[in-house]
């Protein structure tokens, strides 16, 4: 077996997977998006841009998604970074593994069940009752955008913690000692060494969370009481309720395009940041 | 804490587990939002090996039958009895809406043997060629003369029988009367006006265009099934005005009604009965303007993999003795006179299950066009994203 054949053979499973599970379905969605809705639902083949012309009818869903996805990503980052920093830098190594496992443990239960649990925590007999007891009355948490944000941060936090943890864990501690020896304050050390070196982790974490958030539908439906409408919810309704596959496909294709554009811009920004980081380290 | 016994039998364990599963996991909305109909599994089917197989199976109908149905809609003991009698295990797929059921069948390869469509979907299933005509010779327990025709006629299309009646019910609303200050709630006008007034932030509407739009149409006295543009525009304005005052748009209303977060919700008969039984101050109201009356059916999808078992299961569930147990378990009325004979008088006189004639006569069956109308679907999307 030549080296070349071996390479091809090893790439086969992943290649087949991508072809069958990604490219083919995407092609089907693309073809459907130019079709028309059949009277009883489903799709009639056609070549029309009608579905795309209708897109403004789901503008609110796109707007909500494009607002909550970055806000949720940023909030998850702000909460995850200190935690990852603590786990990677501060904590006694003998506790490290246990604490890391504790971050993973929630993944053993389905996100569905865990989000459902939040309904009770945020419902009238949960946190609001506790607040009431200490004198803060009339707080409503469940079925608000805030509840959705809480659910999102809770659900996606581990995805943010791990990449950042890995980048901080590999950080060469001697750099920190050197900075200290050269008289840098702790804040300066963090700003000029720790933070720039953890950028790859931040970038990966943000990307993971952001992409998943763009397609999120479960958390808004459960914790937003169906009143917070994302593109994901629009898609579920279009395919499962009104069975308008043609229009649903057009919305799906648009979501993919919006994501590609956002992620491209994001990558450019990260690369530029990476470039300027080298300037910093030379200085 | 009470001491739990060390040993419980496998059968007992499965029963308890299923009851738990039935009560808390298979909720309409839960499934609806997750699209988990297919995945909401059917613990029973996953562990057939745990159950004792009868040494002799009556007739060889195979080892399983797959039923697609609604949440909290059967007595699990009846399924066990069916397995005992025939050797076929009942695997249950629970669904959130008729649309979802239809979408799954349209996509093909559902693998179902029996499903439970609602009256207004049957003509669509026939025109899409997704439903098998029924051979009454294989359903000896089916006695057409025993059924109230109002709840049976949708099962036949152009003289061919496609579906036999399961249960019927109404769509009204449940209201916690401890918050109404003695005001009598009798109409859909009361429902929406109170929502936008003293019940602000406490009302739920279904995440289902048929009932949510239909009941908003009733506020103006229009038909529940209207697809007229100007009437739908009125309903849309009402719904969008009411939206900031809603607690949720969700068909999973029991938990919120029970814990007191919600005070009023659009509600189906069986849920109304269950809520009222546990919390007497929650009343079930049918709007004086009218609303929805519906009837569910048993049917067999085209190409069902276990056809013999499908007929056997439907026939078994139509047995009045079995059917009476079903009604006692789920609280939805049956249209079968033989079954009703076996039910306790208190149940048959229950105003939630069997509403007064004038309230009942004002109700309309949902129409096929109501389900498939694209304008209603878009209206619902605008309402939800408003």
Contact residues, chain A, for B255 at CB < 8 Å: 119, 123
- Determine the pLDDT at residue B56: 42
* Number of neighbouring beta carbons within 10 Å of residue A230: 30
- Compute the count of residue pairs across chains A and B with CB atoms less than 8 Å apart: 109
- Determine the pLDDT at residue A172: 87
- Is A194 a member of any domain? yes
- Is A31 a member of any domain? no
Residue B33 scores a pLDDT above 70: no
The count of domains in chain A is 1
Residue B224 and residue B155 share a domain: no
- Is B316 a member of any domain? yes
Residues belonging to chain A with any Cβ–Cβ distance to chain B shorter than 8 Å:
37, 39-42, 57-58, 60-61, 64, 112, 116, 119-120, 123-125, 140, 142-143, 217-218, 221-222, 225-227, 229, 233-234, 236-244
Residue B31 scores a pLDDT above 80: no
Q: Which of B274, B280, B211, B335 is nearest to B27 (CA)?
A: B274
Contact B384 A233 (CB under 8 A): yes
Residue B260 and residue B113 share a domain: no
- Determine the pLDDT at residue B59: 58
Contact A237 B35 (CB under 8 A): no
Contact B261 A123 (CB under 8 A): yes
Q: Which of B33, B101, B103, B131 to mutate to test the interface with A (most CBs of A within 10 A)?
A: B33
Residue B363 and residue B263 share a domain: yes
Contact A227 B102 (CB under 8 A): no
Contact B103 A240 (CB under 8 A): yes
What's the CA dihedral at A148, A150, A155, A159 to 10 degrees? 120
Residue B175 and residue B92 share a domain: no
- Is A41 a member of any domain? no
Q: For A271-283, how does the pLDDT look when each residue is reduced to its tens digit (9 = 90+)? A: 887 666 554 443 3
Contact B384 A143 (CB under 8 A): no
Residue B280 and residue B300 share a domain: no
Residue B38 scores a pLDDT above 50: no
- Is B257 a member of any domain? yes
The whole domain housing A192 covers 58-282
Contact residues, chain A, for B261 at CB < 8 Å: 123-125, 142
Tokens of A244: 């308008």
- State the nearest Cα–Cα gap between A80 and chain B, in angstroms: 27
Residue B368 and residue B223 share a domain: yes
Q: For B207-217, how does the pLDDT look when each residue is reduced to its tens digit (9 = 90+)? A: 999 999 999 99
Q: Which of B252, B368, B385, B386 to mutate to test the interface with A (most CBs of A within 10 A)?
A: B385
The residues of chain A scoring below 70 in pLDDT are 274-283
The count of domains in chain B is 2
Could you say which of B35, B209, B250 has the minimum Cβ distance to residue A236? B35
Residue B154 and residue B43 share a domain: yes
Contact B374 A242 (CB under 8 A): yes
Residue B367 and residue B326 share a domain: no
* d(C-alpha B209, C-alpha B212), whole Å: 5
Could you say which of B372, B374, B381 has the minimum Cβ distance to residue A237? B381
- Is B1 a member of any domain? no
- Is B5 a member of any domain? no
- Determine the pLDDT at residue A276: 60
Give the list of residues 6+ apart from residue B81 with CB closer than 8 angstroms, or none. B322
Q: For B74-129, how does the pLDDT look when each residue is reduced to its tens digit (9 = 90+)? A: 999 999 999 999 999 999 998 888 988 998 898 888 899 999 999 999 999 999 99
Residue B51 scores a pLDDT above 50: no
Residue B247 and residue B284 share a domain: yes
Share of chain B above pLDDT 90, in %: 75
B158 close to B343: Cβ distance less than 8 angstroms: no
Residue B303 and residue B234 share a domain: no
- Is B100 a member of any domain? yes
Residue B285 scores a pLDDT above 90: yes
- Is B242 a member of any domain? yes
Residue B72 and residue B93 share a domain: yes
Could you say which of A37, A125, A225 has the minimum Cβ distance to residue B248? A225
Q: Average the pLDDT over B63-69 and give the result.
A: 95
The whole domain housing B327 covers 10-168+294-347
Q: What CATH number should be reported for the domain holding residue B377?
A: 3.40.190.10
Residue B265 scores a pLDDT above 50: yes
Residue B36 and residue B150 share a domain: yes
Confidence category of residue B371, pLDDT binned at 50, 70, 90: confident
Residue A117: how many CA atoms within 13 Å on its side-chain side? 9
Q: What CATH number should be reported for the domain holding residue A223?
A: 1.10.3720.10
- Is B3 a member of any domain? no
The interface predicted TM-score (ipTM) is: 0.85
Contact residues, chain B, for A42 at CB < 8 Å: 106
Single pTM value for the model: 0.83
Residue B9 scores a pLDDT above 90: no
- Is A1 a member of any domain? no
- Determine the pLDDT at residue A42: 81
DSSP of A185-222: -HHHHIIIIIHHHTHHHHHHHHHHHHHHHHT--HHHHH
Contact B246 A227 (CB under 8 A): yes
Range list of H helices, chain B = 10-20, 28-34, 43-46, 76-86, 98-107, 122-127, 188-195, 209-219, 229-242, 254-259, 269-278, 307-318, 320-330, 337-341, 345-348, 357-361, 368-372, 374-385
């Amino acid at each position: 077996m030549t080296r070349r054949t071996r390479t091809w053979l090893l790439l086969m499973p992943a290649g087949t997977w991508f072809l069958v599970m990604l490219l083919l379905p995407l092609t089907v969605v693309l073809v459907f998006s130019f079709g028309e809705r059949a009277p009883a639902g489903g799709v009639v083949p056609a070549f029309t841009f009608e579905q795309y012309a209708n897109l403004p009818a789901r503008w609110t869903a796109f707007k909500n998604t494009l607002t909550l996805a970055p806000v949720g990503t940023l909030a998850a980052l702000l909460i995850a970074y200190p935690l990852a920093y603590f786990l990677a830098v501060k904590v006694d190594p003998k506790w490290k593994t246990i604490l890391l496992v504790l971050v993973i443990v929630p993944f053993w239960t389905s996100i569905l069940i865990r989000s459902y649990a939040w309904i009770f925590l945020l419902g009238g007999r949960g946190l609001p009752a506790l607040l009431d007891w200490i004198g803060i009355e009339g707080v409503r948490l469940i079925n608000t955008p805030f509840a959705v944000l809480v659910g999102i941060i809770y659900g996606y936090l581990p995805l943010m913690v791990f990449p950042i943890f890995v980048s901080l864990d590999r950080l060469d501690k001697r750099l920190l000692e050197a900075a200290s020896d050269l008289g840098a304050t702790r804040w300066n050390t963090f700003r000029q060494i720790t933070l720039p070196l953890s950028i790859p982790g931040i970038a990966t974490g943000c990307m993971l969370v952001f992409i998943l958030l763009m397609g999120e539908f479960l958390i808004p439906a459960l914790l937003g009481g169906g009143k917070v409408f994302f593109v994901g919810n629009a898609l579920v309704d279009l395919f499962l309720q009104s069975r308008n596959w043609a229009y649903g496909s057009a919305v799906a294709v648009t979501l993919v395009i919006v994501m590609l554009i956002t992620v491209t811009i994001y990558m450019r920004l990260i690369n530029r940041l990476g470039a300027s980081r080298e300037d910093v380290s030379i200085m | 804490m009470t001491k739990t016994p060390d040993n419980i039998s496998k059968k007992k364990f499965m029963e308890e587990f299923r009851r738990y599963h039935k009560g808390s996991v298979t909720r309409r909305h839960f499934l609806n939002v997750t699209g988990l109909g297919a995945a909401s599994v059917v613990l029973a089917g996953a562990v057939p090996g745990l159950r004792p197989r009868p040494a002799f199976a009556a007739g060889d109908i195979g080892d399983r039958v797959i039923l697609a149905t609604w949440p909290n809609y059967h007595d699990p003991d009846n399924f066990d009895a069916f397995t005992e009698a025939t050797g076929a295990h009942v695997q249950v797929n629970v669904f959130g809406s008729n649309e979802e059921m239809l979408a799954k069948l349209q996509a093909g390869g559902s693998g179902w043997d029996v499903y439970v469509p609602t009256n207004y979907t049957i003509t669509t299933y026939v025109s899409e060629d997704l439903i098998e005509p029924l051979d009454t010779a294989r359903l000896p327990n089916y006695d057409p003369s025993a059924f109230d025709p109002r709840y049976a006629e949708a099962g036949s299309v152009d003289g061919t029988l496609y579906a036999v009646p399961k249960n019927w019910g109404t769509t009204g609303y449940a209201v916690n009367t401890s918050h109404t200050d003695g005001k009598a709630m009798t109409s859909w006008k009361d429902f929406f006006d109170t929502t936008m007034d003293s019940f602000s932030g406490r009302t739920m509407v279904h995440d289902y265009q048929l009932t949510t739009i239909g009941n908003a149409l009733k506020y103006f006295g229009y038909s529940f099934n209207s697809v007229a543009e100007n009437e739908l525009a009125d309903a849309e304005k009402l719904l969008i005005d009411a939206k900031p005052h809603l607690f949720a748009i969700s068909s999973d209303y029991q938990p919120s009604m029970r814990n007191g977060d919600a005070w009023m919700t659009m509600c189906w008969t069986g849920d109304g009965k269950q809520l009222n039984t546990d919390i007497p101050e929650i009343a079930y109201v049918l709007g004086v303007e009218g609303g929805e009356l519906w009837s569910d059916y048993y049917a067999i999808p085209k190409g069902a993999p276990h056809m013999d078992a499908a007929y056997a299961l439907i026939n078994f569930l139509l047995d009045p003795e079995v059917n009476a147990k079903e009604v006692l378990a789920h609280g939805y009325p049956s249209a079968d006179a033989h079954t009703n004979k076996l039910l306790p008088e208190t149940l048959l006189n229950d105003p939630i299950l069997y509403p007064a004639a004038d309230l009942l006569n004002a109700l309309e069956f949902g129409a096929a066009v109501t389900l498939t109308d694209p304008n209603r679907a878009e209206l619902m999307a605008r309402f939800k994203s408003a």
